[in-house]
Chains A and B, each alone.
Chain A
Amino acid sequence: MEWIRQRLDKIKQPFQKGKKLEKYAPAINALDTFLFTPNHTTQKGAHIRDAVDLKRTMITVVLALVPALIFGMWNGGYQYLHQLPEYADGVPFFDAFWHGALKIIPMIAVSYAVGLGIEFAFAIFRGHEVNEGYLVTGLLIPMIMPIDIPLWMVALSVVFAVLIGKEAFGGTGMNILNPALTARAFAFFAYPTYMSGNTVWVSNAAEVDAVSGETILGSLASGNEVGYSAMHMFSGQIPGSIAETSAICILAGALILVLTKVGSWRIILSAFIGAAIMGLIFNSLPSIGVEGNALTNFPWYLHLIVGGLAFGIVFMATDPVSAAQTARGKWIYGFLIGFLSVMIRIFNPAYPEGVMLGILLMNVFAPTIDHYVIEANVKRRKKRLEKANTQVETAV
């Protein structure tokens, strides 16, 4: 360890203040702080500090994503292979995982390379340290894409998300929209044929006739029979975006986020409540004499586990920067995300999944929610002042 440290210090020499590579210091610092937590000591204010820093927080989110990612790799292969005649007797785990991993790992590599490249460039250009936010964003972007999306589309989506979604607003901590969802929304509207339909959700589905690749929501929207059991939906052996399918793995991630207090349990809980209530409202339509359709009559608890709803709520809605920041605001924000996502899902079959738009919409409204929550606090303070003033007046 000492040896590495010494080597690093040597490498960093030309990057010091006043030396010729000073401008590029953020880049080398990012590498250095990845290896070592720096020896910086407190200079002002509190002399001791908590062990947590942004790197720890972000890596915890990455850890929470790992179960869903691993499952996504396996499922990516499984969805394709199990429909082939040669795998009629069952798909070996490794075959499926390998097939999926070969598709997904390049996507992750492209996403990190392009995104971190831009982040580093901005850090050098603006003279600040590289923020860790992209560690999570860079992994999330491939995880919410269809498995067959071309790599250049991933790269373009990342460029759009980081430049327009984040850096245009001032960088990490200042963005209004969730960057990962911005990337997906960009791809969704720019390349709709690669992002929706019946053939994109299963690997190679378009090329092989025998393979069917419709998502459950897609089947419901077009009035087709749903060929999966509730157990399949829960475990995630269904077509869909790479990591969104397995409710179990997402639940494991949610558990990590909530236990470490990195993700807000308020948002997660209230969003599921909101989605459940919206589902219940539609489910109860027949009892008031409205027939409804396959989507409205789809049981509310299944609404929670199909599509990207669970993944979006657990990993996207909880992004602290684009979410509401006050405790009360988080309840409202989460609830409305769940509520709106299921509503969009049902009312607008052109977008078979509503969670992306639901979260992006609430991202925009989060500051407004916070404003009214904080305004209540301000009003309390003003009322107290008024009361104090009248007391003084009556005393005089």
Chain B
Amino acid sequence: MSKDIRIKRGLTLRLEGEAEKELVKAPRSKTYAIKPPDFHTHVPKMVVKEGAKLLAGDELFYSKYTDEIRFTSPVSGVLKEIKRGDKRKILEVIIEADADIAYRDFGKLDAAKADVKDVKERIYESGCGAFINQRPYDIVADPKDTPKAIFISAVTTAPLAASKGFLVKDKIAAFQEGITALAKLTPGKVHLCVDEESAQYLKDIKGVELHHVKGPHPAGNVGVQIHKIDPINRGERVWTVGVEDVAIIGNIFLTGQYRAERTVAVTGSEAKDRNYYQVQIGANIEDIIGSVSEDVRIISGNVLTGTKLSNGQYLGFYDNELSLIPEGNKYRMFGWLPFTYNNIHSNSRTSLSWLFPNKKYTPTTNLHGEERALVVTGEMEEVLPMDVYPMQLIKACMAGDIEKMENLGIYEVAPEDFALVEYVNTSKLEVQEVIRLGLDLMITEIG
């Protein structure tokens, strides 16, 4: 039985620079990189050395403490460099790509008829395990767990985010096969949440429970959907997979090849050609957006949750967007005067921007203030559509009070769910970081 969800609390940011819904083939990158820091808490253990020849789908490294989870090469080529940071921590595994991708052949497998064991093995040996994330904790899932359900969000609400319907509209067959495979991994249901646009393409997908979701951001966040449909209790595991990643998983069964394709929306006021680009995972961003000036912030992901990149770096593993916005390293005189600077969006009404709900804003990276003690109450609840007390949970995380965090619902949240809380926060707290640290503490203490 499907359950439709209407979210009331939240905030849809209307920003300048949405991508045109037109798919452009980007020039192929010469180098690609898989970045172990994208897989939070997983420690990489390399299996190939610099100079090794690779096919797309060949293993690069595995997770040291969960060795079933393998991370494979998105393209064929030569392992060029293993870039390390402090304490020899691996930051980037860079691959110099061939002109054409040669795939390692895993062999076709009919997911519908195959054994659960075979399906699981296929997903993990091909490196598709990296696409399966778990809640609680928002990390790559441990294949030894049995999830109570699997959630896939095809709802787009994040500011300047790639339209999830657009991402999969030409990959429906692979998507269906991916769903069939994933359904074998859980005794529970596979929940697929759609918005009006993605429903056009995904309404006939079989083997899922379809939910129509309406409402402002963060309604598109899978965490919010889990919370509304089947909330996580202590000790339970729920798995989540991105929409495009489901199609990659499907392809491993349909074609036997690890086709690590990424559709990337180039957005933001500073982007020149705002389109969707067809690339491979880990592509060098310079081949997509070229080189941009110092005054532009390049973000892999959306403006609320993405990671900052510099020219010539590589696309994040899970990211479907490159957002380019102006840096805000400028002073503003008397910025504290209420009702001035109304061209900067504010959810509070100390700016007149609320009088123009349809205006599109060009945000910068300016913090618009300095960090302060938590004073204002009630603003966080307005943008978090969960039965969770955000400020109290944040304070519990800061204090490292495990019991309190558990009581207040730490298992149900992920940093991205708190992105809007961070955005509206008057005290300019780094809320997502606080929640991440809280979750990390839970992992080490409870697991």
Contacts and interface: CB of A to CB of B under 8 A. Distances in A.
Interface of A: 1, 4-5, 33-57, 59-60, 63, 129, 131-133, 171-174, 259-262, 264, 320-321, 323, 325-327, 330, 370, 374, 377-378, 380-382, 384-385, 388-389
B196 interface: no
Interface residues of B, number: 76
B74 to A, nearest CB: 26
A131 B332 contact: no
Contact of B426 (A57, A174, A381): A57
Nearest to A381: B409
Nearest to A262: B350
B369 to A, nearest CB: 3
Contacts of B13: 48
Given A49-B367, A51-B353, A377 B389 contact: yes
Given A36-B333, A47-B303, A52-B426, A131 B372 contact: yes
A377 B396 CA distance: 15
A39 B366 contact: yes
A172 B375 CA distance: 8
A55 B367 CA distance: 13
Most buried by A among B345, B346, B375, B419: B375
10 contacts: A33-B370, A37-B333, A41-B328, A57-B375, A59-B338, A173-B374, A262-B349, A320-B377, A325-B391, A327-B381
B327 interface: yes
A381 B389 CA distance: 12
B5 interface: no
Contacts of A35: 333-334
B306 A47 contact: yes
Contact of A173 (B336, B365, B373): B373
Contacts of B330: 39
B366 to A, nearest CB: 6
Interface stretch (B126-134, B163-171, B285-293, B430-438): B430-438
B432 A52 contact: no
B416 to A, nearest CB: 10
B368 A37 contact: yes
A384 B233 contact: yes
Nearest to A54: B372
A44 B341 CA distance: 24
Contacts of B346: 50-52
Contact of B430 (A45, A63, A378, A384): A45
B336 A34 contact: yes
B372 A47 contact: no
Contact of B423 (A50, A129, A172): A50
B331 A39 contact: yes
Contacts of A60: 338, 350
A34 B341 CA distance: 15
B419 A323 contact: no
Nearest to A9: B331
A119 B347 CA distance: 29
B441 interface: no
Given A37-B331, A320-B376, A325-B391, 20 more contacts: A5-B331, A33-B336, A43-B308, A45-B415, A45-B433, A47-B297, A48-B13, A48-B304, A49-B369, A49-B422, A50-B346, A50-B423, A50-B424, A53-B369, A54-B369, A55-B336, A59-B338, A262-B376, A325-B377, A325-B392
Interface string B336-374: 111001001111111101000000000111111111111
A56 B323 CA distance: 29
B344 A59 contact: no
A53 to B, nearest CB: 3
B234 interface: yes
A380 B376 CA distance: 26
A59 B409 CA distance: 35
Nearest to A384: B233
Contacts of B236: 388
Interface in B291-305: 297, 299, 303-305
